[in-house]
Amino acid sequence: MMPTWSIVSLSMLLCVVVRWGVSLNSYSGAGKPPMFGDYEAQRHWQEVTYNTPVQEWYFNTTENDLNYWGLDYPPLTAYHSLICAYIAKTINPEWVELHKSRGFESPAHKLFMRATVLLADLLVYFPAVTLYCLFLTDGSTRRKISTLFCILLYPGLILIDYGHFQYNSISLGFALWGVLGLGFGWYVFGSVAFCLALNYKQMELYHALPFFCYLLGKCIKLGLTGRGLFLLVRVAATVLVTFALCWLPFLSDPGQALQVVRRIFPVARGLFEDKVANTWCSLNILIKVRSVLSSDSQVYLSTACTLLAAAPSSLRVLMKPTFWHFKLALVNSSLAFFLFSYQVHEKSILLAALPVCLLLSDLPLVGVWFLLASTFSMVPLFLKDGLLAPYVVTSLAFLFFGVYLLSALERCSEEELRMGAYRRLLFFLPGLDMGRIVKWKFYVSVVVMAAQSVATVALVPPPRLPDLFPVLVSATAYLHFLGTFVYFNIVQFSTPPGKKSQKKMN
């Protein structure tokens, strides 16, 4: 048998090949002036950060038109764009020439942009996934490597970063380094890593409550008059210093910092824009929420619903700060934010997908199911970007390897699915086989998602309902996400993992 690290390296190499294969396809906004798409947004940020002073990055000026892909991510994204710009300038100055480079497209530039995504992935995301699977998951070596391979093969992240074009692997990678820090008991390191994730993408707030509650719970458990207080002070100081360093160029002028905050939290955009598989878009099918409520009311309602939905699982972590509860709270918090928060984009489901990936080894069937549904929820976006073939191939590959390598359909007994709480709720149906029901629901779900994908591609919607298929996709995905949210909350408040796992996770 090949040594462990040889198999790990081979698995990673195969996942790199898949990523590069997807990158050969089209991307967001290819050949579509005047705004093009996310590919041009990332290129334009390189142009702006290289050619304008840092004080102008987030302001509307003659040299920086915020209406044309203005920076709307935190400072760490801007610094990353600046690093890429310096490299781009060395290779070909036309790629970042102020104003004249707008909409620049060429095979060489596409190769450069794709390479920057892969390099960031290999430096940040791949090592974190590898360490997590090998050292923080239970089971045999084969199971650990199978989990590693399936996480790296998750089609949603590959299609968005290497197809559509973004750098989600950086923020998600930093968040995973934060998880690793907490899992190994390196709380200061974990705090720094998660602060970097927050300062790269503000959507990492989806994971913030579990991080805060887990660390505070550990401090309380150690005692707030002794070691716990010392840990609390260290973590608080770490967070403040990390944020101060990331925001240093903007701290000399309060107006600068306030403008950055306005850009990264665009309240003026409204409750939602595109069709997303969350509560507000799904509710909008029946009730036109944006017409009924004022803009301020929409903000208050979404904030209240988000916090109410995320609070139970986060408070559970605060009271029981174990690594198991922390991982479940990451899922529940991120889903609460996706389902109820303000200005959600379809790509934000990746923030819920990451913690679900961390549970693939424990709950393989539910994990594979959710990750497939999360990819399916972005079908309209993939079709818009010309990514139909990569979507089909990567989804089928993930389904096959997820079921085969993780034995997802074999490990679906009532006990393995941790459905004891469901059994107690359905005490009047003692003969019900919960595992078999979940398995059949999985089969039906896969068929429905496949059928809707085919229909979206092959059928023409009726003239009176031009958005019929995107609405059906988002509504179907919403039901999946809501069901997953309920399931993981019940799991978190019911039976803990086995004694062996619990001992290791504590």
pLDDT in tens, 129-176: 999 999 999 999 999 999 999 999 999 999 999 999 999 999 999 999
Does residue 15 form part of some domain? yes
Does residue 94 form part of some domain? no
Does residue 41 form part of some domain? no
pLDDT in tens, 173-191: 999 999 999 999 999 999 9
Does residue 61 form part of some domain? no
Q: Are 336 and 485 in contact (CB under 8 A)?
A: yes
- Of 298, 341, 73, 319, the residue nearest 199 (C-alpha): 73
Q: Is the pTM of this model over 0.85?
A: yes
pLDDT in tens, 479-493: 999 999 999 999 999
> In sequence order, what DSSP letters do the residues of 123-167 get, joined into one string?
IIIHHHHHHHHHHSS-S-HHHHHHHHHHHHT-HHHHIIIIIII--
Query: From CA 369, how far away is CA 488, in angstroms rounded?
Result: 13
pLDDT band for position 431 (50/70/90)? low
* Structure confidence at residue 68 (pLDDT): 94
Query: From CA 112, how far away is CA 91, in angstroms rounded?
Result: 9
More confidently predicted of 329 and 274: 329
* Structure confidence at residue 429 (pLDDT): 64
Domain that holds residue 466: 4-30+105-505
Contacts for 91 with CB less than 8 Å, ≥ 6 apart: 108, 112
Does residue 351 form part of some domain? yes
Q: How many domains does the chain have?
A: 1
pLDDT greater than 60 at residue 416: yes
pLDDT in tens, 348-375: 999 999 999 999 999 999 999 999 999 9
Which whole number is the average pLDDT over 494-506? Answer: 52
317, burial (CB in 10 Å: exposed 0-12, middle 13-18, buried 19+): buried
pLDDT in tens, 380-406: 999 999 999 999 999 999 999 999 999
Which whole number is the average pLDDT over 48-74? Answer: 95
Does residue 327 form part of some domain? yes
Which whole number is the average pLDDT over 464-479? Answer: 94
Does residue 487 form part of some domain? yes
Q: Quickly tell me which residue has 């896969």 as its tokens.
A: 446
Does residue 52 form part of some domain? no
* Structure confidence at residue 285 (pLDDT): 86
Q: Are 347 and 159 in contact (CB under 8 A)?
A: no
